[in-house]
Amino acid sequence: MLLWEETLFKDRDLFELDHLPEHFLHREDQMNSLKFCIRPAMQGARPVNALCLGPPGTGKTTALFKLFEEIEAHSTKVIPVHVNCQMDCTKYSVFYQIYKKVFDHAPPSSGISFKRIFEKVAQAAADQDKVLMVALDDINYLFHEKEVDHVLYSLLRAHETCPGARMGVIGVMSELALNYVLDPRVVSVFQPEEIIFPLYARSEIRDILSRRVQMGFYPGVMNDDVLEEVVDCTERSGDLRVGIDLLKRSGLSAEKRASKSVSLVDVAGSCDRSRLVHLTYALKTLKDDELVVLRLAAEQKSWRAGELFARFHEQTEAGYTRFHEILNKLDSIRLINADFTGTGERGRSRVISVRYESEEILGRLGS
């Protein structure tokens, strides 16, 4: 029996999704490719742009953090900036974050335009003779309203308006295809090196989770059979974050039972909640009218876009342009499918369906 002041966790931080592991396993090829892209910047030249592609939970963000950690430890020539585009999804907010990194403080809270922020960032990079390396994590959040074109154009053509400014971009996407047509002026300068992050193999999942168990739990807390069940759930989801979250939830479940070890029952009872970790996180980033569209979409198996818009307009009085933007955003962040059927009145009609079970979405929206 576990006493009330005792715990199964030797180091709880290892089971947090934002934990940066000391040993980053099974991504050596991807790290080498990223280092190849960065190498010119370490020598003071413009870096090779990159696009990291792969499903959620395949190590893309961790790879960036490990890379930037190395840069900051070994180089004074490069300023690495990580931008979470789920949180910062406009050109102004992206450059706000870049400004904070370059100057070590935020820009004035009012009265300063995007153009002025951009000019100050570019001039500072040129004056300091440093290369700016910007990672746009979850770049697909910039697809709506064409923000991505404005951001990439500003970064990659900065040298034209500010001689001496050298900037590179690492984009990160959880889709294997860039199903967004970039502005031709951006395409001509972006030309990224594509770095693929495949799903982890079962043996790799077991290896990574086993290390977390050894370092995060006390000895004897989780036996091999229970770990295999965690590996099973993780492999089915295709997302390593599910496994890490499941380890934590299972441990907490065992503590709630005052047990000194995690059982198969703890894992089974926690698997569904861990599997929905992406959905829960994505919902937190949505605006009110975006939540309205998602809620309506979840209320039946599929919708014609026109029918869904009619319901949306009835509730919000917003126009079709905004509705179209919302559909593109929800599609790009993998909450809905918005496929063209080719059978509409003008030859192309969209059919909308949610990517999760309706109950899973509506339950989290409080419906």
Q: What is the pLDDT of residue 282?
A: 79
Query: Of the ranges 51-60, 139-148, 299-308, 335-344, which one carries the lowest mean pLDDT score?
Result: 335-344
Give Cα separations from 179 to 175, 332, 340 (angstroms): 9, 9, 13
- Give the span between the Cα atoms of 49 and 133, in whole angstroms: 9
Which residues of the chain form CATH 3.40.50.300? 28-196
- Return contacts of 209-212, CB within 8 angstroms, 24+ apart: 209/234, 209/243, 209/244, 209/247, 211/21, 211/23, 211/25, 212/14, 212/15, 212/244, 212/247
Mean pLDDT of 62-74: 96
Task: Report how far apart, in Å, the C-alpha atoms of 89 and of each of 96, 98, 226, 359 are.
Answer: 11, 13, 40, 28
Beta-carbon contacts of 332 under 8 Å, excluding residues fewer than 6 positions away, are 140, 141, 143, 144, 175, 180
Which of residues 228 and 109 earns the better pLDDT score? Answer: 228
pLDDT digits (tens, 9 = 90+) for 71-85: 999 999 999 999 999
Task: Give CATH for domain 201-275.
Answer: 1.10.8.60
Token look-up 């910039």 returns 142
Can you identify the CATH homologous superfamily of domain 28-196? P-loop containing nucleotide triphosphate hydrolases (3.40.50.300)
Rounded-to-integer distance, Cα 257 and Cα 326, Å: 44
- Name residues whose C-beta falls within 8 Å of residue 152's C-beta, 6 or more positions apart in sequence: 169, 182, 186, 189, 190
Reply yes or no on whether the pLDDT at 281 is more than 80: no
The residue that leads in pLDDT, 125 or 179, is: 125
Indicate the pLDDT class of residue 348, thresholds 50, 70 and 90: low
| Mean pLDDT in residue range 182-210 | 95
pTM of the complete model = 0.83
User: What pLDDT, in 10s, does the model give residues 83-96?
Assistant: 999 889 899 999 99
- Distance (Å) of CA 347 to CA 117, 298, 323: 44, 26, 20
- Sheet containing 350-354: give its strands across: 303-304, 350-354, 336-340
Packing angle, helices 224-237 and 240-256, rounded to 10: 140
pLDDT score of 176: 56
Higher pLDDT among residues 177 and 116, named by residue: 116
Predicted local confidence at residue 111, as pLDDT: 77
Check residue 353 and give its pLDDT: 94
Mean pLDDT of the chain: 92
Q: Which residues, listed in sequence order, are joined to residue 172 by a DSSP beta bridge?
A: 52
Residue ranges of E strands in 248-365: 303-304, 336-340, 350-354
Confidence of residue 344 (pLDDT cuts 50, 70, 90): low
The reported pLDDT for the residue numbered 82 is: 98
Q: What percent of the chain shows pLDDT beyond 90? A: 75
Domain with CATH 1.10.8.60 in the chain: 201-275
pLDDT at 109: 78
pLDDT higher for 272 or 151? 151
Question: What CATH fold (topology level) applies to the domain 285-364?
Answer: Arc Repressor Mutant, subunit A (1.10.10)
What does the pLDDT read at residue 179? Answer: 58
Pairing of strands 50-53, 193-196: parallel
Q: Quote the pLDDT of residue 181.
A: 80
Query: What mean pLDDT is predicted for residues 179-202?
Result: 90
pLDDT tens column, 160-182 = 999 999 999 999 998 655 557 88
The whole-angstrom separation of Cα 55 and Cα 6 is 38
